[in-house]
Amino acid sequence: MLISIHPKDPQPRLIKQVADSLRGGGIVIYPTDTIYGLGCDIFQTKAIERIAWIKKVDPKKAQFSFVCADLSHLSDFAKQISNSTFRLLKEYLPGPYTFILEASKQVPRILHSKKNTVGIRVPDNKITQALIRELGHPILSTTLPGELVEDYTDPEVIHDHYQNLVDIVIDGGIGGMIPSTIIDCTGDEKVLVRKGLGEWEE
């Protein structure tokens, strides 16, 4: 199903429709402030398994992020972080960044890896933020499989590719082609893991 949602003034009725699908174990492709993402409810184990199957990866080895509307869920899913790290997150988020933190015990067991980390993302995107607020907790998110080609910027083309694999594709306009910048905050030094859209000076 392709649902068109206004990028600057998301329709509450449509946002609720997508959130209800997520609560029921649905998988959605949705816009962010970078590229379109593949997401589900973090508490729907079967949906997480479906995304891992689409990506052809082990859930424990997959590079999933928790996409949040703001930093209010941070203490739920990340272990206590330093004041300097929190200031860093407040400075850069919302924005095109993913920060890797130590995962708390509230992170669903299916996602626990040897590293036991969680990627936290707060996109500067009104559709995403409205959806997460309606859902009441973060979305588990990952990139679409394959190379980041132009096919992954046009929601109608994305729908043609994935309509048999996902429940909803949100058309929130043409997406970007550059993913988020990933920063590892689990050690003493902040480490650039992937240079993406967000500017970063080490």
Confidence check: pLDDT of 110 > 70? no
Please, which residues have CB within 8 angstroms of residue 160's CB and are 6 or more apart in sequence? Answer: none
Alpha carbon distance 66, 183 (integer Å): 14
Count of helix runs (H) and strand runs (E) in the chain: 6, 10
User: Whole-angstrom distance between the N-terminal and C-terminal Cα of the chain?
Assistant: 42
Q: Report phi then psi at 116, rounded to 5.
A: 55, 55
Beta strands in the chain (DSSP E): 2-4, 28-30, 37-41, 65-67, 97-102, 117-121, 139-143, 168-171, 181-184, 191-194
Alpha carbon distance 182, 171 (integer Å): 25
pLDDT digits (tens, 9 = 90+) for 119-167: 999 999 999 999 999 999 999 999 988 775 667 899 999 999 999 999 9
Q: Is the dihedral of CA 61, 40, 81, 124 positive or negative?
A: positive
Identify the pLDDT of residue 152: 80
Q: What are the structural domain ranges in the chain?
A: 2-194
- CATH no., domain 2-194: 3.90.870.10
* AA identity, residue 166: V
pLDDT digits (tens, 9 = 90+) for 21-67: 999 999 999 999 999 999 999 999 999 999 999 988 887 777 788 99
**Partner residues linked to 125 by β-bridges:** none
Please state the pTM of the whole predicted model.
0.92
Please, which residues have CB within 8 angstroms of residue 170's CB and are 6 or more apart in sequence? Answer: 3, 4, 5, 18, 28, 29, 30, 31, 127, 155
pLDDT digits (tens, 9 = 90+) for 1-14: 999 999 999 999 99
